[in-house]
Structure 1
Amino acid sequence: MASVTTSCHIQADPDAVFAVIGNCNRFAEAVPDITGIEVLSDVTSGVGLRFRETRTMNGREADTVLEVTEYEPPNHIRIVADSHGTVWDSVFTVTPQNGGSELTLVMDARPHKLLSRLLVPFTMRMIGGALEKDLHAVKDFLESPVTA
Structure 2
Amino acid sequence: MSRIEETIDISRRPDEVFTYLTDPKHIAEWEESAAAVRTLSEGPLGVGSRFQVQRRIGRLKVPMTMEVTEFNPPRSWHFHGVNGPVRSDLQGTIEPLDDGERSRLTLSVDLEPHGIGKVLVPLVVKPLVRKEIPRDEAHLKELLEVGAS
Alignment TM-score, normalising by the size of structure 1: 0.83
CA, structure 1 residues 31+91, in 2 after alignment: closer, same or farther (shift >3 Å)? same
Partner residue, 1:100: 102
Distance apart, 1:132 and its partner CA: 1.9
Structure 1 residues 82-91 or 15-24, which shifts more?
82-91
RMSD of the alignment, in Å? 2.2
After TM superposition, the structure 1 = structure 2 runs for residues 1-148 of structure 1, keeping only pairs within 5 Å, are 1-31=1-31, 33-98=33-98, 99-113=101-115, 115-122=116-123, 123-144=125-146, 147-148=147-148
**C-alpha separation between the residues in 2 aligned to 1:110 and 1:31?**
19
**C-alpha separation between the residues in 2 aligned to 1:119 and 1:40?**
27
Amino acid at match of 2:90: S
- Secondary structure of residue in 1 paired with 2:142: helix
CA, structure 1 residues 31+86, in 2 after alignment: closer, same or farther (shift >3 Å)? closer
Structure 1 residues 66-75 or 34-43, which shifts more?
34-43
CA, structure 1 residues 85+54, in 2 after alignment: closer, same or farther (shift >3 Å)? closer
Contact 2:64 2:87 in 1 (8 A): no
Deviations 1:4-46 (A, max 9, x none): 1111111111111101111111333344653322111224411
**C-alpha separation between the residues in 2 aligned to 1:105 and 1:45?**
19
Amino acid at match of 1:131: I
Structure 1 residues 15-24 or 116-125, which shifts more?
116-125
CA, structure 1 residues 44+35, in 2 after alignment: closer, same or farther (shift >3 Å)? farther
Structure 2 residue runs of 5 or longer lacking an equivalent are: none
Contact 1:6 1:128 in 2 (8 A): no
Contact 1:8 1:102 in 2 (8 A): yes
Alignment TM-score, normalising by the size of structure 2: 0.82
**C-alpha separation between the residues in 2 aligned to 1:82 and 1:46?**
16
Contact 2:81 2:89 in 1 (8 A): yes
Distance apart, 1:140 and its partner CA: 0.9
Deviations 1:71-99 (A, max 9, x none): 00110110111344343211011111244
